């Protein structure tokens, strides 16, 4: 009798063990639910955390570092703001007007400007490049130029690159403002230089992309299109990708500038950028395109306005700021479907590109700078 009870006990114990083992397997196989804060930033419900109000914003993309945003304003002014809460660190007025999108590193903000003649006097077009100190906005050095720089500035190591309205390409020493080299071309340069792989690429108003040796400025090759090149190039897999006002996206070889492929869109292309193993292009035909690096179409998606600003790509999503729309739109890179929408509360009219600093997304509007983040109490910063 005792033996029978022991057998029943062992059988029951085995059943309990099998049940527990099954439960453990079910739990381990169940899909994990991500914490809301770990989801991709652009797919989250972002609201305006703070706003810097100003009626004198420009069509220039703000500069930024890991903690601060540097907003360019009309009248030669630039303000330094804390990305997390909009705290104003300083405001500097250098005179004239800012002529190109500024850029920053961990010690300085580099700002290009042009002189403005007083009313009734002959128009001046002299330019200057300055380095403003990060902590107080005080000028560290200033380099005068015959003509102002246009488009955007770019940094590579100790070199600072810019292109002038007179067609001159420059490489400056960012520590002193000294000129390493300057090369003159016969067409205005108004795009953002891109330095990679020992080369720097300049887009021109006559549709030419120039490839220069970064160290010396030596012209390595040029490729001519039929429309202005106003956006930055992208470099990957031995190819240089860029858009043109003639409505095409181009891929040329990085070593010789020979055409590999081109893809037609319905309008001028001013924004091209890498998105993982693909190429994201935004066109003035109101469409965003995702292309493979071999030129095949992955998807295209219509947006509520023309796209002249460089989209912001974070993880598997991209943020676009269509002109004449009141919403910035987030698309999934996988299939082009809309993931999110950020309401600006007014029509977007600026071609300044959106940026991200400290988990905060910034959009420039006609009336200030909007900081989008995970919902918390909103505050407003207003200029005097």
- Identify the pLDDT of residue 315: 87
Do the Cβ atoms of 172 and 162 come closer than 8 Å?
A: yes
Asked if residue 342 is part of any domain, the answer here is yes
DSSP codes, 9-27:
HHHHHHHHHHHHHHHHHHH
Asked if residue 369 is part of any domain, the answer here is yes
Burial level of 109, CB count in 10 A (0-12/13-18/19+)?
Answer: buried
Q: What is the CATH number of the domain that holds 373?
A: 2.40.10
Question: Which residues are within 8 A (CB) of 10 and not within 5 positions of it... i.e. 6 or more apart?
Answer: none
Asked if residue 336 is part of any domain, the answer here is yes
Q: Give, in order, the Cα–Cα distances in Å from 344 to each of 31, 69, 198, 379.
A: 36, 18, 40, 15
Both structure tokens of 63: 């500069």
Model pTM score: 0.86
- Identify the pLDDT of residue 26: 43
Phi, psi of 376 (to 5 degrees): -145, 180
Do the Cβ atoms of 151 and 190 come closer than 8 Å?
A: yes
Asked if residue 103 is part of any domain, the answer here is no
Distance CA 274, CA 277 (A): 7
Question: Pairing between strand 379-382 and 47-53?
Answer: parallel
- Identify the pLDDT of residue 35: 43
Total tally of structural domains belonging to the chain = 1
Asked if residue 105 is part of any domain, the answer here is no
Closest CA relative to residue 321, chosen from 62, 312, 313: 312
Phi-psi map region of 129: left, alpha, beta (phi>0 left; psi -120 to 50 alpha)? beta
Asked if residue 157 is part of any domain, the answer here is no
**Domain range enclosing 331:** 40-55+310-384
Per run of 10 residues, the mean pLDDT along the chain (length 384 residues) is 50 51 42 49 93 96 97 97 97 96 97 83 81 97 96 96 96 98 95 95 97 97 97 96 97 97 96 94 95 97 94 94 95 96 94 95 97 74 54
- Identify the pLDDT of residue 116: 81
Q: Give, in order, the Cα–Cα distances in Å from 168 to each of 88, 188, 215, 257.
A: 36, 8, 16, 20
- Identify the pLDDT of residue 15: 47
Asked if residue 158 is part of any domain, the answer here is no
Helix (H) or strand (E) holding 6: helix 2-29
- Identify the pLDDT of residue 98: 97
Asked if residue 384 is part of any domain, the answer here is yes
């Amino acid at each position: 009798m005792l033996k029978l009870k022991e057998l029943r006990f062992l059988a029951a114990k085995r059943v309990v063990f099998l049940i527990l083992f099954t439960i453990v397997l079910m739990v381990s196989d169940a899909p994990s639910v991500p914490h809301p804060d770990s989801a991709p930033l652009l797919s989250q419900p972002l609201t305006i955390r703070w706003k810097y109000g100003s009626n004198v914003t420009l069509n220039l993309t703000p500069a930024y570092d890991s903690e601060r945003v540097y907003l360019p304003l009309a009248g030669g002014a630039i303000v330094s703001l804390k990305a997390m809460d909009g705290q104003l660190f300083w405001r500097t007025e250098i005179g004239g007007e800012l002529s190109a999108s500024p850029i920053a590193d961990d010690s300085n903000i580099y700002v290009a400007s042009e002189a403005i003649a007083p009313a009734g006097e002959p128009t001046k077009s002299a330019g200057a490049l300055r380095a403003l100190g990060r902590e107080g906005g005080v000028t560290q050095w200033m380099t005068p130029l015959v003509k102002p720089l246009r488009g955007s500035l770019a940094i590579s190591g100790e070199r600072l690159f810019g292109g002038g309205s007179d067609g001159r390409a420059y490489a400056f020493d960012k520590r002193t403002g000294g000129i390493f080299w300057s090369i003159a071309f016969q067409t205005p340069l108004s795009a953002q230089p891109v330095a990679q792989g020992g080369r720097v690429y300049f887009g021109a108003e006559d549709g030419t992309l120039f490839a220069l040796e970064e160290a010396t400025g030596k012209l390595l090759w040029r490729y001519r299109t039929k429309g202005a090149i106003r956006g930055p190039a992208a470099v990957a897999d031995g190819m240089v990708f860029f858009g043109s006002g003639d409505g095409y996206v181009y891929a040329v070889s990085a070593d010789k500038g020979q055409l590999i492929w081109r893809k037609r869109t319905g309008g001028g292309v001013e924004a091209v950028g890498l998105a993982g193993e693909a190429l994201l292009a935004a066109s003035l035909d109101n469409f965003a395109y995702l292309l493979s690096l071999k030129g095949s179409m992955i998807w295209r998606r219509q947006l509520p306005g023309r796209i002249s600003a460089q989209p912001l790509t974070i993880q598997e999503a991209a943020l676009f700021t269509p002109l004449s729309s009141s919403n910035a739109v987030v698309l999934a890179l996988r299939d082009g479907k809309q993931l999110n929408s950020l309401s600006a509360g007014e029509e977007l009219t600026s071609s300044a590109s959106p940026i991200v600093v400290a988990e905060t997304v910034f959009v420039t509007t006609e009336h200030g700078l909007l900081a989008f983040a995970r919902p918390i109490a909103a505050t407003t910063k207003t200029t005097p």
